[in-house]
Amino acid sequence: MLNISGTQINFLKVRVITFILSAILICLSIGAFFVNGLNFGIDFKGGTLIEIETSQEIEISGLRDNLNTLELGDVQVQEFGSSKNLLIRVEQQLGGDQVQQDVVQIVKESLESYLSTDINFRRTEVVGPKVSGELIQSGAIAIFVAVFAMLVYIWFRFEWQFSLGAVLALVHDVILTIGVFCITQLEFNLPIIAAILTIVGYSMNDTVVVYDRVRENLRKYRSKEITDLLNLSINDTLSRTIVTSVTTLLALLSLFIFGGEVIKGFTFAMIWGVVVGTYSSIFVAAPLLRYLDVKREWNTTSAVDSTR
């Protein structure tokens, strides 16, 4: 039987440490963004991706050398899940949208003549420069719109202090997620944008639950010191925060391990986001309220209701 109810952990006491930790991680992320940059997939960079399955194991370096003689620019070959599954990436060709189409044909013919095994072409993706430019733009816009929508929603439902705190925590989560992709150089593609948007939703969900309790306790304990009150609120909701994170992580881990190679990057981003989002609601969003001068006089009618 798991029962984390009734804890009295002093979360606010470590706020200086966690703020510094978050600051370091944010600096690392921003640094990695400018030093390494994101490893954009073809969704955002344009180019061609071909996934093949062969009946025998292939010596990758030989194939890579062979494909790099085709004068298609940089051609990457990597294993994808097993040694018989290969992923071939060809960079975007100069000369507009139409020429990208020729790459598939050239690579397919070259593979068929070079490899002596049966080849099953499992996936072919060609993204031209026009579309990749639009995708990256709409992806960035979507994230900004989502964060802004959260800001407005929380402002409506709470007060501007809460809205600001929640959005700062949200920006923290988004930066750390993009940062982990800069550091690990995992491929950053369209599904990762979807993952970030979901993280925005999830992290907000977590933060709202804590904030909801803060608001309730503000009504309930008029004279309680704000630090104590925030601690109490985090402790009140801690059990829920942990249980929901665990169930979500259980589902995501199962997807990460068994869900196949294609959505691995997506699931990784989600798992990271859930961990960071949970951390930020407890150690960033809630402690921030201490500095944001939250209003103590909530309307009394509902306060009566929640005071015992």
Partner 1 sequence: MLYFSNLKTFSVLSVIIITLFFAVPNFFSKDQINSFPNFIPKQQVNLGLDLQGGSHLLLEVDTEEIIKERVENLNADVRRVLKKNNLNYSNFKVSNESLKFVVEGFNSEIQKEISELSMSNSQNILAMGDQTNLIITQEENTIQINFTEEFIKQSVSNAVAQSLEIVRRRIDELGTREPSIQRQGSSRIIIQLPGIDDPDRIKSLLGQTAKLTFQLVDTSVNFDPFNPSKAPIGSEILASDADEEFKYIVKKRIMVGGENLVDAQPGFDPQTNEPIVSFRFDRIGATKFGRVTQQNVGKPFAIVLDNKVISAPVIREAILGGSGQISGGFDSEEANDLAILLRAGALPAPLIILEERSVGPDLGADSIEAGQFAAIIGFIAVIIFMIFVYRYFGLLADIALIINLFMVLGVLSLFQATLTLPGIAGIILTIGMAVDANVLIFERVREEIRNGSNMMNAVENGYKRALSTILDANITTLIAAIILFFMASGPVRGFSITLAIGIFTSVFTAFTFTRLLISLNAKRLKPNFVGLSKNA
Which residues 177-206 are close enough to bind partner 1 by CB under 8 A?
Answer: 190-191, 193-194, 197-198, 200-202, 204-206
Residue closer to partner 1 (CB basis): 91 or 125 = 125
Q: What are phi and psi of 189, to 5 degrees?
A: -130, -170
Q: Which of residues 14-33 bind partner 1 (CB under 8 A)?
A: none
> Per CB under 8 A, does 35 bind partner 1?
no
- Yes or no: say if 80 and 86 are a contact pair by the CB < 8 Å rule: yes
> Per CB under 8 A, does 133 bind partner 1?
no
Q: Which of residues 208-237 bind partner 1 (CB under 8 A)?
A: 208-209, 212-213, 236-237
> Per CB under 8 A, does 115 bind partner 1?
no
Residue 253: CA atoms inside 13 Å, Cβ hemisphere, count? 7
- Yes or no: say if 169 and 18 are a contact pair by the CB < 8 Å rule: no
Strand locations in 8-133 (E): 39-40, 47-54, 75-80, 82-90, 119-127
69 Cβ contact list (under 8 Å, min separation 6) = none
Q: How far is the CB of 110 from partner 1 (least distance, A)?
A: 15
Q: How far apart are CA 79 and CA 301, in angstroms?
A: 64
Q: Which of residues 138-157 bind partner 1 (CB under 8 A)?
A: 138-139, 141-142, 145-146, 149-150, 153, 157
Binding residue (CB under 8 A) for partner 1 from 39, 159, 244, 303: 244
Of the ranges 31-39, 64-72, 127-135, 223-231, which one interacts with partner 1 (CB under 8 A)?
A: 127-135
